[in-house]
Amino acid sequence: MTGHVLVVGDVVDDISVRALTAVTEASDTNAEIRMRPGGSAANVAAWLGSLGVETVFVGRVGADAVERHMQALAEHGVTAHLAGDDELPTATIVLQLDDAGERTMFVDRGANTGLRPGDVPEAAWDGASWLHLTGYTLFDVATRSTALGLVAQARARGLGVSIDPSTVSFLRDVGGPTFLDWVEGADLAFPNLEEARVLLDARGPHTDLDALGARFGHLVVTLGSMGAAYVSGDRREQVTAPRTRVVDTTGAGDAFAAGFLASWLDDRDPVVALESGRAAAERCIAHLGARP
């Protein structure tokens, strides 16, 4: 691939909470509590950088956290342009982990809601060949116009564009058809199966991935225990799910998207790219935290 991947969107302080004993209601429970850098878009950037892809990330954090988050991304080879917000704190997510590594998330978007076109410097665009966005920036009314403007600017500059809906609950709130209208013309989309059903407004047991694939140049759907599938025109490919003990699913979809992009942007081989995505997701779910 010539040129770097530009990732724009959310950056977060993830606070994971894992109970070490049965939860004692209305009293104390021993737990493991850790704060780690996160945010779906920033996670994708970190995984891309760790896989050797030249990556530039743009986001917004509290003014006191600029250096900390820039360093966290730099550790994975990512060049970050972070705007510091003097009024809003860095976004925070509290993740409650269960015994299977699945998580329930409580979200405070904080400084992410302040992302504006001016936060994306010309230097971030210079030399870029691809733009990746996650759904959070589109779902937030405060940043939606910024996200749509970035897609339009990427198109005008001749960049490819990929979109990950990222969250089925927010997707349901706006409706699948509305979201599809927002991202019309994107080259590549990364929904999971539940998100794909919402995008299609599917009411029955059948999910017509061919119909959804027709809305994008390329479609990659993560299928949980069934692995992941690629759809484009008449081509269909699928790989099995990662085979490893699940410690924490946080960031697994971000890792998969980065793994897929890292390979696919080089040679457009969907089978190799699916396997690369699976390998990254397998690494992610084997440890606590959403970053490499």
- Interval 214-272: pLDDT, tens: 999 999 999 988 899 999 999 999 999 888 888 888 899 999 999 999 999 999 999 99
- Looking at every residue in the chain, the average pLDDT score rounds to 94
The CATH number assigned to the domain with range 4-10+38-87+111-285 reads: 3.40.1190.20
Contact 161, 137 (CB under 8 A): no
How many other C-beta atoms are found inside a 10 Å radius of the C-beta of residue 35?
A: 12
Return the pLDDT at 100. Answer: 67
Nearest in space to 288 (alpha carbons), one of 17, 74, 94:
17
Mean local confidence (pLDDT), 271-284: 96
What is the pLDDT, as a whole number, of residue 190? Answer: 98
Q: pTM, whole model, 2 decimals?
A: 0.94
Rounded percentage of the chain residues whose pLDDT exceeds 90: 82
Structure tokens at 272: 């190799």
Give me the residue spans of the domains in the chain.
4-10+38-87+111-285
Listed in order, strand segments (DSSP E) in the chain are: 4-8, 12-19, 31-38, 55-62, 78-85, 91-97, 103-108, 128-134, 160-164, 188-189, 218-222, 228-232, 235-239
**Taking the CB of residue 158, how many other CB atoms lie within 10 A of it?**
9
Sheet architecture: strand order including 235-239: 78-85, 55-62, 4-8, 128-134, 160-164, 188-189, 218-222, 228-232, 235-239
- What is the average per-residue pLDDT within 163-185? 95
What pLDDT sits at residue 220?
A: 98
- Residue-level length of the chain: 292
For 132-184, the DSSP string reads: EEEHHHHHSHHHHHHHHHHHHHHHHTT-EEEEE---HHHHHHH-HHHHHHHTT
Structure tokens at 258: 């980065």
Q: Could you tell me if 276 and 268 are in contact, meaning their C-beta atoms sit under 8 angstroms apart?
A: no
Residue 101 has pLDDT above 70, yes or no: no
- The 10s digit of each residue's pLDDT in 4-27 is 999 999 999 999 888 889 989 999
Residue 73 has a pLDDT of 98
